[in-house]
Amino acid sequence: LVSNRGSFDEEGIAFPLVVTGSDLPNLTTVTITEFDSLGSTFWNALGGEINQDITFKGNIKASFLDGTDTVSSTWKLVFRFYEDNTLASYVDSPALWQYIGQLDGKPPVNVTFDETYTVTPNNVVALCLKSDLGAVFGGFIIRIDQADITIEFNESAEDSVSTGYFLHEAMKRITEVITDKKDGFYSDFLGRTDIGYSTTGIAALEVIMSGKQIRRFPDAVPSMSFKDLFDSLNAIHNIGIGIEYNNVGQPYLRLENKNYFFDGTVVAALYSVSELHKKVAREWIYNSVKVGYDKSEYEEVNGIEEYNNKFTWAISGIKTIKNEYNIVSELRADGYGIEFARRKSYLEFPTEDTKYDNDNFIIKIRQLSSQYYAAKKEEYDVVENIFSPETAYNLDLSPGRMLRNHGGVIRPGIEKYLHESNVKFQYAEQKQNMASQRTGGISIDENANIDPNDLDQGIWIPEIYSFKSELSTTLLDKLIKKPTGIIKFSTSTEEKTTQFYYGWILDVKNNEDTDEAEWQLLRVNLKSENLNLIDPTGNTPDPIPPEIDPGIPAGFEYPFEFIFVE
């Protein structure tokens, strides 16, 4: 670039640049020429339809040659953003300002940069040198020895407004349809202060939206059965649902974290039980875990970057049982699917069907003033190994976090083998190595092996007590109203009992021909640090219950359902 004495644009002079490559544009210098603003090659970031975040990375090497009237001055490297392709006016943007040296005959200057800016479809970008001398320059010669620039861009459409349903409202509405009753649903886990709850629940700021809702179709709504919605939320959060009764004896559905349904309060004591046996609850012991989302985007460009996909872990130490813990959600949480659907808006594509239309998505949101926005990485200190951390959806709902939510279910089956067990990562269908850390939380590598000691300690032991005992009308009424409490029992009479067994009810079958009922209880882990045992009688249980005669028969013969799903 050669300058002659005289008046110049005080904002600087532009390098002549050319674009090479089409998929990943690269900018390089052309043969050195005298500066000519009309002849220089400028670069239009998009020529497209939407704003983009552009990252400019590069290296500039320049030499300063003595002119006939060299003037010492400070120069900066800068990108100039023109408002349109006529180059009539430019945006005074706080663009890339990098010192490259003084015009005093020093050796060549080497400048490296890595900066990101938001570029509009109409912007034209030029790489410029700017002087501190103003509009009048002395004679000089600047030689650009090398200018290597690469451009990376993350396409992001303008914000859009879609209508979704809070999980609380969705579950409440389905309950009303099923029961034909108002006020038939309650959940601290999903509740919010703005609808009358004392606190905002863990999953309160999550919404369900159909693909058509994301595309902003008028009158679009999600369609999903109670069972499918519950199973998906259970896969993500580890929840349970049961029947409770209000103060006038009317039933309602209660949805909470699963541990809520394993209440530590002793609700009844049984004495002189007969035919006591203990069996291994094989259905509650797992040697593998499949977790994540049944559908995730992978066919589109960048789809392989989707981290909310399906993962598999193997659990070592369990040699005699092959049982997979399947916690795969039918609800979608993949950010690429959400984004692809959002960009096929009804306004622009009213007659075009997409593969997202009939799928249902769960989206984590955040509240700002009276508005709700999709949550990104605002509450995360670290998000790594994905293409665009700043625009990542549903970080709270990642497969690694889903698995840890179920730690109290997975760990009981390997509690006896903690010294030799490992939860070993096996496979992910797409992106597997995202690393993230919530502010104040632990760092989670999605594809890391997991030490079972780091999982929540379970409050039960996967063993089932079975016995026979009397079931009075009074006791039955108590259990109907409080089925989640602990039953303590003994094979001795009340007068002679000094030790008890403790368990949660799995099943009670009353025999109409006799006064006895057949009981099945899941054994309580009395050593668990997460168990808050409350015994109104004041009896303190021994850490190890008495041995059961005639021993432990092998096998598990009974299917059972603890959680109501319909």
pLDDT at 298: 62
Please choose, from the candidates 346, 348, 366, the residue with its C-alpha nearest in 3D space to the C-alpha of residue 356. 346
By CB neighbour count within 10 A (0-12 exposed, 13-18 middle, 19+ buried), where does 419 fall? exposed
- Average pLDDT on 435-442 reads 95
Q: Is the pLDDT of residue 265 over 60?
A: yes
Tell me the torsion sign for CA atoms 220, 189, 562, 184.
negative
Cα separation, 489 vs 467, whole angstroms: 10
CA angle 357, 51, 27 (to 5 degrees): 125
Cα separation, 72 vs 105, whole angstroms: 9
Q: 45 or 142: whose pLDDT is higher?
A: 142
- Average pLDDT on 485-505 reads 92
Strand order in the sheet with 360-368: 165-166, 206-210, 360-368, 371-374
Q: How confident is the model at residue 141 (pLDDT cuts 50, 70, 90)?
A: low
pLDDT at 539: 63
Cα separation, 183 vs 254, whole angstroms: 11
pLDDT at 235: 97
pLDDT at 523: 96
Cα separation, 142 vs 76, whole angstroms: 13
Cα separation, 525 vs 462, whole angstroms: 9
CB atoms within 10 A of CB 91: 13
Q: How many CA atoms lie within 13 A of 165 on its CB side?
A: 22
Query: DSSP character for 330?
Result: S
By CB neighbour count within 10 A (0-12 exposed, 13-18 middle, 19+ buried), where does 313 fall? buried
Give the pair of three-digit tokens for residue 286.
């797992």
Which residue type sits at 518?
E
CB atoms within 10 A of CB 133: 16
Residue the block writes with tokens 């069996």 = 279
Q: Is the pLDDT of residue 11 over 50?
A: no
- List, for residues 365-375, the tens digit of each pLDDT value: 998 878 899 99
Cα separation, 219 vs 213, whole angstroms: 8
- List, for residues 304-349, the tens digit of each pLDDT value: 889 999 999 999 888 788 999 999 999 999 999 998 899 889 988 9
Q: Is the pLDDT of residue 543 over 60?
A: no
Cα separation, 561 vs 566, whole angstroms: 11
Q: 503 or 152: whose pLDDT is higher?
A: 503
Buried/exposed 316-332: b ≥16 CB within 10 Å, e otherwise: ebbeeeeeebebbbbbb
CA angle 211, 212, 217 (to 5 degrees): 155
- List, for residues 59-115, the tens digit of each pLDDT value: 777 776 655 444 455 666 676 666 665 556 666 554 444 555 554 555 567 777 777
Q: Is the pLDDT of residue 44 over 90?
A: no
Cα separation, 90 vs 87, whole angstroms: 7
- Average pLDDT on 383-392 reads 88
Question: Which residues touch 410 (CB under 8 Å, ≥6 apart)?
Answer: 286, 289, 315, 325, 403, 423, 452, 455
- List, for residues 165-219, the tens digit of each pLDDT value: 999 999 999 999 988 888 899 999 999 999 999 999 999 999 999 999 999 999 9
Q: How confident is the model at residue 38 (pLDDT cuts 50, 70, 90)?
A: very low
Give the pair of three-digit tokens for residue 43.
């670069």
CA distances in angstroms from 513 to 274, 472, 509, 517, listed in the order given: 17, 14, 12, 10
Please choose, from the candidates 68, 61, 145, 70, the residue with its C-alpha nearest in 3D space to the C-alpha of residue 105. 70
CA distances in angstroms from 387 to 95, 139, 376, 392, 516, listed in the order given: 23, 46, 14, 9, 63
By CB neighbour count within 10 A (0-12 exposed, 13-18 middle, 19+ buried), where does 291 fall? buried
- List, for residues 237-257, the tens digit of each pLDDT value: 999 999 888 888 888 999 999
Q: How confident is the model at residue 135 (pLDDT cuts 50, 70, 90)?
A: very low
pLDDT at 61: 75
User: How high is the mean pLDDT of the chain?
Assistant: 79
State phi, psi for 338 to the nearest 5 degrees: -60, -45
By CB neighbour count within 10 A (0-12 exposed, 13-18 middle, 19+ buried), where does 479 fall? middle
Cα separation, 98 vs 123, whole angstroms: 21
Rg from Cα positions in the chain: 33
Please choose, from the candidates 376, 393, 395, the residue with its C-alpha nearest in 3D space to the C-alpha of residue 443. 395
Q: 243 or 133: whose pLDDT is higher?
A: 243
Q: Is the pLDDT of residue 125 over 60?
A: yes
Q: How confident is the model at residue 469 (pLDDT cuts 50, 70, 90)?
A: very high
Residue the block writes with tokens 């597997």 = 432
